[in-house]
């Protein structure tokens, strides 16, 4: 008599736990992707995902809290850059302050090609 309801409740518990487990995997993969885009402030050449520094552990906890609060990836990056500066991002955003870093190599290449063409044309 109790066998059928017991089996049914066991199946429901298993289905629910598998669903929670898969959501947790998705959450941790999303967190891992975010952590790889954020620089550890102590170990400058390591991402937050790779670093085991105490500050990195605190930052990972803080990012997890922001995710739980419903912040988007962009909002999390905005929050971190306001608090720690552009250095915290592995791929800083393009803005007026760092435009020379982004455009400088292309301008130097253009000047070098222009100079090379001009020098070779005058010799011919």
Residues 48 and 109 in one domain: no
pTM of the model: 0.59
With 50 as the cut, is the pLDDT of residue 20 above it?
no
Q: Are residues 88 and 99 in the same domain?
A: no
Which of 20-24, 51-55, 56-60, 100-104 has the weakest average pLDDT?
20-24
Q: Do 117 and 65 belong together in one domain?
A: no
Mean pLDDT, range 99-124, rounded to an integer:
86
Query: How would you label 37-47 residue by residue, b for 16+ Cβ within 10 Å and e otherwise?
Result: bbbbbeeeeeb
Say if residue 27's pLDDT is above 70. no
Lowest mean pLDDT among 49-53, 59-63, 91-95: 91-95
Specify the pLDDT at position 104: 87
Of 49, 50, 74, 76, whose CA–CA distance to 62 is shortest?
Answer: 76
The answer to whether the beta carbons of residues 91 and 37 sit under 8 Å apart is yes
């Amino acid at each position: 008599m109790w066998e059928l309801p017991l089996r049914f409740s066991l199946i429901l518990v298993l289905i629910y736990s598998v669903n929670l487990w898969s959501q947790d995997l998705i959450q941790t993969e999303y967190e891992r992707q975010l952590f790889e885009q954020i620089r550890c402030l102590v170990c400058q050449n390591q991402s937050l995902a790779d670093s085991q520094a105490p500050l990195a552990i605190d930052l990972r906890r803080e990012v997890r809290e922001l995710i739980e609060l419903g912040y988007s990836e962009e909002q999390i990056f905005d929050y971190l850059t306001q608090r720690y500066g552009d250095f915290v991002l592995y791929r800083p955003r393009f803005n007026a302050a760092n435009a020379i870093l982004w455009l400088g190599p292309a301008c130097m290449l253009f000047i070098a090609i222009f100079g090379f063409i001009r020098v070779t044309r005058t010799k011919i």
